[in-house]
Amino acid sequence: MITSLRKFKKRKEISFRLLIFLFFLAIGLTVFILNLNFKISKENTKIKKELDSLKQEVQKLEAEKNNFLLKISKIKTKEYLEKAGREDFDLKKQGENVVSFPAIKKETENKERENKERENFFQKFLEEIGVK
């Protein structure tokens, strides 16, 4: 009877120790799983932000692509080629007379620049002499 009582106490001690071990094991696993969940959530947020950024970039590039396609279709037209030939290369149609005017603006800018340089020269000369 005493031996059976001792066996019962040992079983009770073993089962109590086992319960404590299992309790701490469960807490450890819970902390581990929560930590992994936090890391995965953080990585998921980072990936979503990157995905949104890439989607915006794709939209921007598609708009740019459409703009280029529109320009290409415009350039391929006969009217644009004719306009570019007239403006950039001074071409004309057969039997057509072209009247061109010299670039007055450039000439006046050059003259103004020369006048300023002369004024600066004379001002420096007069300052050197001591007149002024």
Q: Running along the chain, 132 residues long, what does each successive block of 10 average in pLDDT?
A: 60 79 96 97 97 98 96 89 80 77 67 74 72 60
Torsional class of 101: left (φ above 0), alpha (ψ -120 to 50), beta (otherwise): beta
How far does CA 11 lie from the centroid of its chain? 69
What pLDDT is stored for residue 80 in this prediction? 86
Residue 49 in tokens: 């932000």
What pLDDT is stored for residue 9 in this prediction? 63
CA distance 34 to 36: 5
Residue 38 in tokens: 């936090």
This prediction has a pTM of: 0.46
